[in-house]
């Protein structure tokens, strides 16, 4: 693992003083060091990777300094539009350094949702005419950043550094999050919702630990896994997948969303509020952090998500809830209404250290869910 203090001093020597992006587990130490190294004007955690590229472009235009944009390779899709239609040499020709965590690296075993994106990561750089190199040895990382700064300046365009596991992060993240506190954790909140709704409810959970915790809730209650959708990839799109289900089938649907995931594609709120699915409960498990990738802060608890949801067309209870009694009351009240409903649940940061890993057959889960939805919808 690279010495971050040494690396950031090298970056300062290169005239690099601005960082923005979306935290990634493979860049965990790099992202966390940036938090302590920079003030809030020089390190911005963006809502999504496209936002980050655009923010970085603006910083370059205002200073002439090459910025750094960090992301997981799954975020290349979000970043592609501004990379091709804003920063590309054929448009505004804006230099920047992309630091990309390589999930799904073909040489490393990883989850299935990362496999194809991992295989295509370098090909996408080639297709977008973005020069890149791979960070695979601690001792050469500083040299690669020097190359990136020099190349970005010479061609006046983005270049990329693709980081293998363990180079800009520890091989394993520290499990240092508190497991006790005054607020509920995600599992507490999920449990309250399960107790308040009928057994026929369909549940989905957003990318990250929430999928593991939802699946574990079905296990603990010895329920068949035919009423759960685990949004293991496509961060920020869980609520939209559930919207598609909800317009096809009339039953109670619950989306357990994360604050960072919801903010990533906040426009989904307006679509859901406009379409108005009849029995759709959108619950934000809001701990104000990118917890699954290291606990970096999000804007989740700094913005009024309830007011945003209400303005978009959701039913709400007028503000966030932060305890089991108020959450149960809100779920019972809102589930009686027709149309989409929204609850912002403020919870504490916390990952149970002993929660099982998610070992599931996604094709089997899909088939079982579809069978349940179609049979109950009279489409046998």
Q: What is the pLDDT along the chain (380 residues), one digit of tens a residue?
A: 899 999 999 999 999 999 999 999 999 999 999 999 999 999 999 999 999 999 999 999 999 999 999 999 999 999 999 999 999 999 999 999 999 999 999 988 888 888 999 999 999 999 999 999 999 999 999 999 999 999 999 999 999 999 999 999 874 554 445 556 789 999 999 999 999 999 999 999 999 889 999 999 999 999 999 999 999 999 999 999 999 999 999 899 999 999 999 999 999 999 999 999 999 999 999 999 998 888 899 999 999 999 999 999 999 999 999 999 999 999 999 999 999 999 999 999 877 777 777 889 999 999 999 999 998 776 54
With CA atoms as reference, report the closest residue to 202 among 377, 327, 360, 324.
377
User: CA-to-CA distance for 235 and 211, rounded, in angstroms?
Assistant: 12
Beta bridge partners of 158: 96
Are 209 and 256 in a shared domain? yes
Same domain, 101 and 151: yes
Indicate whether 156 and 49 sit together in one domain: yes
Contacts 24+ apart (CB under 8 A), 5-11: 5/33, 6/142, 7/141, 7/142, 7/145, 8/33, 8/34, 8/37, 10/142, 10/145, 10/146, 11/68, 11/145
- Within a domain: 294: yes
Would you give the DSSP letter of residue 283? E
Tokens of 2: 């690279």
Q: State phi, psi for 316 to the nearest 5 degrees.
A: -140, 175
Rounded to whole angstroms, the Cα distance separating 275 from 297 reads 32
Clarify whether residues 96 and 205 are in a common domain.
Answer: no
The strand ranges marked E within the chain are: 19-21, 43-45, 68-72, 96-101, 132-135, 158-163, 202-205, 228-230, 253-258, 279-286, 289-290, 296-297, 339-346
User: Considering the domain boundaries, does residue 349 fall inside one?
Assistant: yes
43 within domain boundaries: yes
* Domain co-membership, 224 together with 322: yes
347 and 314 belong to one structural domain: yes
Same domain, 149 and 194: no
Are residues 300 and 201 part of one domain?
yes
* Residue of 89, 222, 212, 104 lying closest to 157 (CA atoms): 89
Q: The CATH number of the domain where 242 resides is what?
A: 3.40.50.970
Residue 175: what pLDDT? Answer: 47
Total domain count, the chain: 2
Q: Structural domain of residue 142, as residue ranges?
A: 4-163
- Does the residue 171 lie in any domain? no
Structural domain contains residue 177: no
| Residue that finishes a domain, picked among 148, 163, 178 | 163
- Yes or no: say if 259 and 300 are a contact pair by the CB < 8 Å rule: yes
Residues 205 and 353 in one domain: yes
Lookup result for tokens 């295989």: 119
Domain membership of residue 175 (yes or no) is no
Q: Tell me how crowded residue 257 is: count the other CB atoms within 10 A of its CB.
A: 28
Residues 54 and 106 both lie in one domain: yes
Eight-class DSSP state of 26? G
Bridge pairing between strands 132-135 and 296-297: unpaired
Contacts of 341 (CB under 8 A, 6+ apart): 280, 281, 282, 314, 315, 316, 334, 335
In a domain, 170, yes or no: no
Residue 235 and residue 339 in one domain: yes
For residues 196 and 146, membership in a common domain is answered with no
| pLDDT score of 380 | 45
End-to-end CA distance of the chain: 54
Residue 143 lies in a domain: yes
Rounded to two decimals, what is the model's pTM?
A: 0.92
Rounded Cα distance between 167 and 28, Å, is 10
Quote the crossing angle between the two packed helices 324-335 and 186-196, to the nearest 10°.
Answer: 40
């Amino acid at each position: 693992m690279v010495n971050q203090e040494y690396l950031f001093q090298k970056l300062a020597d290169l005239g690099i003083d601005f960082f923005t992006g979306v935290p990634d587990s493979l860049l965990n130490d790099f992202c966390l060091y940036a938090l302590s190294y920079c003030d809030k004007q020089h390190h911005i955690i963006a809502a999504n990777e496209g936002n980050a590229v655009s923010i970085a472009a603006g910083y370059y235009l205002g200073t002439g300094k090459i910025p750094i944009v960090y992301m997981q390779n799954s975020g290349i899709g979000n970043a592609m539009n501004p990379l091709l239609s804003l920063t590309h040499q054929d448009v505004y020709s804006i230099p920047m350094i992309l630091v990309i965590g390589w999930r799904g690296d073909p040489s490393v075993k990883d989850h299935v949702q990362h496999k194809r994106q991992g295989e295509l990561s370098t090909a996408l750089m080639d297709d977008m005419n973005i020069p890149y190199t791979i960070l695979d040895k601690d001792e050469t990382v500083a040299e690669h950043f020097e190359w990136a700064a020099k190349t970005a300046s010479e061609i006046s365009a983005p270049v990329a550094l693709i980081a293998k596991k363990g180079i800009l992060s520890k091989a394993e993240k520290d499990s240092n999050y508190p497991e006790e506190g005054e607020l509920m954790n995600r599992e507490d909140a999920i449990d309250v919702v399960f107790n308040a709704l009928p057994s026929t409810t369909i549940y989905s959970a957003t990318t990250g630990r929430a999928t593991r915790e939802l699946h574990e809730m079905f296990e603990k209650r010895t329920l068949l896994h035919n009423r759960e959708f685990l949004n293991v990839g496509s961060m920020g799109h869980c609520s939209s997948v559930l919207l598609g289900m909800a317009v096809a089938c009339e039953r109670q649907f619950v989306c357990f969303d994360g604050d960072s995931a919801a903010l990533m594609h906040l426009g989904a709120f307006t679509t859901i509020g406009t379409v108005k699915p009849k029995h759709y409960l959108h619950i934000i498990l809001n701990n104000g952090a990118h917890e699954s990738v290291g606990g970096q802060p999000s804007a989740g608890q700094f913005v009024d998500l309830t007011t945003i949801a209400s303005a978009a067309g959701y039913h709400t209870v007028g503000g966030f809830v932060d305890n089991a009694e108020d959450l149960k009351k809100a779920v019972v009240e809102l589930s009686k209404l027709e149309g989409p409903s929204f609850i912002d649940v403020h919870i504490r940061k916390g990952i149970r250290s002993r929660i099982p890993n998610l070992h599931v057959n996604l094709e089997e889960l899909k088939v079982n869910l579809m069978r349940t939805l179609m049979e109950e919808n009279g489409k046998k």
